[in-house]
Homo-oligomer: A and B are copies of this chain.
Amino acid sequence: MNDPIPSDEQLLGFFKAMADANRLKIIGLLTQSPRSVEELAALLDLRPSTVSHHLMVLSEAGLVNGRAQSYYNVYQMTSGALESMARRLLAQETLPQVAGSVDLNAYDRKVLADFLLPDGHLKTIPAQHKKREAILRHILKSFEPGVRYSEKQANEILERFHEDTATLRRELIAYKMLDRASGEYWRKTDTTEN
């Protein structure tokens, strides 16, 4: 009943198979009735070799299948293949998963590469939200979870990144990465960073 989530290659193969006008017509014709290569070629005004190629693509995507019948090759829709694909597209978990192979830290790394000097100091503190956030996430790694730092200790760490330690402190609080009470600073526990 539940279709498995298709792999990225399956998904891509499916869409590539459907992304051609003549292959769409073949699908349309085969949903009406099975047909031979020769017949499809006549109907679409294409060479049999071309139709053969299209049928190969469609069959590798699992959408059609052919059987030899005397010396004809008769192709038909693979029953349920298309419906199954459509249903998987509707499943909420399919699409987000396509981004699975994407390196979600790539953006942060790019920002770090743009703003960090070789010695680890910041060229500037980025003006833009997303980039400032990425930089602050990076700085936060220098604070051990569970440890409470005095303002002096905190400044010593922050100086390694930028002389304007006051701004860095304020921003770390604002972005809810650090907590402060009675002159002490500590890392919040709900961060998802390492």
Residues of A within 8 A of B (CB): 8, 11-12, 15-16, 18-21, 24-25, 27-29, 31-32, 36, 39, 42-45, 82-83, 85-87, 89-90, 95-104, 106-107, 110-111, 130
Contacts and interface: CB of A to CB of B under 8 A. Distances in A.
Contacts of A83: 90
Given A39-B130, A87-B90, A102-B29, A95 B107 contact: no
Q: For the complex formed by this chain, how many copies does it contain in all?
A: 2
A130 B38 CA distance: 11
A101 B28 CA distance: 10
A46 B32 CA distance: 43
Nearest to A101: B25
